[in-house]
């Protein structure tokens, strides 16, 4: 039982932030995170240690969140403008404009994974490339390239629409 408590205390915040980056809701993130640890507790014996525990927990959280979305047939979209941590890109000004932000959210909604998820984790979840790489079980370079390609797709689509 102490293992589960230590797991909970160590990774709760990381899993919560990850789910919040997907759902854009504190309430949903809290609910999914709690359910994630409940599922992890039930299947702790099956964890093989092939990946980092944080990655395993985030995968459970992601699947739990997507199951919730498919049951309710909704995927919440955050309507608030956010800034992008990468100062070298011109999307920062775009996100400050509410109409432009809605265009970007619309583009993201129709974007394919992993680009969509990597961009969302980086921008709205404010995760580092290292953390994103851990979640996907890939390298930091992969996370950077995927983010860059997603950013280029968004810029290209915005230019086409305007």
Q: Can you tell me which residue has the tokens 């941590």?
A: 85
Question: Model-level pTM?
Answer: 0.48
Handedness of CA 96, 98, 99, 105 (dihedral sign): positive
Residue 130 Ramachandran class (φ > 0 left, ψ -120 to 50 alpha, else beta): alpha
How does pLDDT run along the chain (162 residues), one tens digit per residue?
456 678 888 888 888 888 888 888 888 888 888 888 888 888 877 777 777 788 888 888 888 888 887 776 654 444 333 333 443 344 444 444 567 777 777 888 888 888 888 888 888 777 888 888 888 998 988 988 898 888 888 888 888 877
């Amino acid at each position: 039982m102490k293992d589960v408590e230590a797991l909970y205390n160590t990774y709760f915040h990381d899993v919560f932030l990850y789910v919040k980056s997907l759902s854009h809701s504190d309430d949903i993130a809290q609910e999914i995170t709690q359910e994630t640890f409940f599922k992890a507790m039930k299947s702790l014996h099956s964890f093989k240690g092939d990946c980092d525990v944080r990655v395993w927990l985030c995968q459970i959280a992601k699947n739990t969140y997507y199951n919730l979305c498919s049951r309710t047939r909704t995927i919440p979209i955050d309507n608030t403008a956010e800034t992008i941590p990468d100062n070298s890109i011109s999307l920062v000004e775009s996100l400050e404009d509410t109409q432009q932000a809605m265009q970007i959210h619309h583009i993201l909604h129709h974007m394919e994974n992993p680009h969509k998820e990597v961009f969302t984790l980086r921008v709205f979840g404010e995760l580092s490339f290292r953390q994103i790489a851990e979640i996907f079980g890939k390298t930091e370079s992969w996370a950077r390239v995927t983010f860059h390609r997603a950013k280029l797709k968004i810029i290209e689509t915005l230019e086409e629409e305007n």
